[in-house]
Amino acid sequence: MSFLPTMVMRMLLVLQLLILGIGNGVIIIESTDKITRLPGQPSVEFQHYSGYVTITDDQDEINQKALFYYFVEAEIDPLTKPLVLWLNGGPGCSSLGVGAFSENGPFRPTGNRLVTNQYSWNKEANMLYLETPAGVGFSYSTNLSFYQTANDHITGHYVPQLAELMLQYNKDRLFNLKGIALGNPVLEFTTDFNSRAEFFWSHGLISDSTYNVFTSACNYSRYVGEYYRGFVSPMCSKVMSLVSRETSRFVDKYDVTLDVCLPSIFSQSKFLTPHQDGETIDVCVEDETLKYLNRQNVQKAMHARLVGVNSWTVCSKILDYELLDLEQPTIHILGDLIKAGIPVLIYSGDQDSVIPLTGSRTLVKRLADELKLNTTVPYRVWFVGMQVGGWTEVHGDVLSFATIRGASHEAPFSQPERSLVLFKSFLEGKPLPEVF
């Protein structure tokens, strides 16, 4: 029996409330949720909305819970385009601030204005970003004791669980689930976490001797397990001190090739890293987003409010997570989804050392073998324009693995064009481009 936390049940309820207004893939939302114009926003042709969905009695002011959403219509023909729910992991990080404003939404903040993201995913779909659970971003609970019992996971946990629930509770055919895609997910604690050592070593971040102790004396899954239990053994403490010293805090573990965003006290200028044929990546976009979403005129324009907190934060600082639940695997849930005919895509930014591609690739291949799926697309490169966009392998036309070359843990942030090509291919059920 799969592990289905209460938070996932609440998310299903929210989706039911939102999707009740869907017609041909587009959410019909109250006109009061329509965003007239965000401060500093460039002119656009599509409509966007934001507001709250309460998942408790509106009259119960003591125990009210409300989740904040941001919905962006597809740029062209929204009535014919699919609806995509985007959820960030963390745990407890904002789908609005990270997903919409840093990764694949229509705008990115810079200074006092927004700039257009030419590779926004609403070019291909209607995008729904949900801040969940209550206590994340602008979502809230008026009962503060809820925050001490919240149960949250990173994306590799609650997305498969949510998809499983959508199938189980679909008696009225409310949901027409077409597939799920997971980026750099934790699917199996030991395999995913222990792949970090090899990634560090193969990318020159740690020495041979440190690699040896990191794979023998104390591997990463053991360290994380001890840390979550409140006691780190002397051996693991020593090993992690070695690893931390050699990898350096000046290397972004979510993308080991990108520069870090240095505090503004060192420089008043932005840190832009050259990337992908002259394009620049603002490595301080998270700081920009934090400033933007904490502006009162922005919150007013988005119909957002702060309840129980003084400011909007990228990742929640008030929730108390049951982090040991991370050790429970979800890879078997993907197997159940595949058996039900739901396509599954696992993709990895190949410069992410937090959840490296090698662990995900191993787990996908293992699952394909267990399900006795034939390899329909042998491991090969795929292209964007005249450059390699990454590598891919497909099993049985329902289970796909892909890497995004040069991408971070948040792949659309650092490789937006390549991520959009991957997203488009997945939505259309077509193979990734084999030639240029």
pLDDT (tens digit per residue) in 174-218: 678 889 999 999 999 999 999 999 999 999 999 999 999 999 999
**pLDDT at residue 3 in the model:** 38
Give Cα separations from 432 to 1, 26, 390 (angstroms).
Answer: 35, 26, 10
Flag whether 200 is in a domain: no
Flag whether 113 is in a domain: yes
The Cβ of residue 302 has, within 10 Å, a number of other Cβ atoms equal to 21
Flag whether 258 is in a domain: no
CATH number of the domain that residue 21 is part of: 3.40.50.1820
Flag whether pLDDT at 61 surpasses 80: no
Confidence of residue 148 (pLDDT cuts 50, 70, 90): low
Give Cα separations from 426 to 103, 108, 113, 214, 317 (angstroms).
Answer: 18, 24, 32, 37, 34
- Residue 299, both tokens: 């919150």
Give Cα separations from 418 to 44, 68, 101, 252, 281 (angstroms).
Answer: 23, 29, 18, 21, 14
- Residue 51, both tokens: 């507001």
Flag whether 206 is in a domain: no
Q: In what order do the strands lie in the sheet with 387-395?
A: 180-183, 344-349, 399-404, 387-395, 375-384
Q: Where are the beta strands (DSSP E) in 321-424?
A: 344-349, 375-384, 387-395, 399-404
Domains held by the chain: number: 1
Q: In terms of pLDDT, which residue wins out, 174 or 355?
A: 355
On whether the CB atoms of residues 366 and 335 are closer than 8 A, the answer is: no
**pLDDT at residue 310 in the model:** 92
Flag whether 254 is in a domain: no
Nearest to 243 by CA among 277, 215, 272, 283: 215
Confidence of residue 337 (pLDDT cuts 50, 70, 90): very high
Q: In terms of pLDDT, which residue wins out, 233 or 319?
A: 233
SS3 410: coil
Flag whether 293 is in a domain: no
CA-CA distance, 15 to 9, in Å (whole number)? 10
Confidence of residue 10 (pLDDT cuts 50, 70, 90): low
Report the share of the chain in percent with pLDDT over 70. 83
Flag whether 126 is in a domain: yes
Flag whether 145 is in a domain: yes
Q: What is the mean pLDDT of residues 218-231?
A: 95
Give Cα separations from 168 to 82, 154, 172, 361 (angstroms).
Answer: 21, 22, 11, 28
Nearest to 292 by CA among 132, 111, 118: 111
What are the contacts of 264-271 at 24+ separation with CB within 8 A?
Answer: 270/110
Q: Measure the N-to-C terminal CA separation of the chain; round to a whole number of Å.
A: 45
Q: Which residues contact 109 (CB under 8 A, 6 or more apart)?
A: 40, 101, 115, 285, 288, 289, 291, 292
Domain of residue 132, residue span = 4-188+323-428
Helix axes 189-202, 220-228, angle to 10 degrees: 130
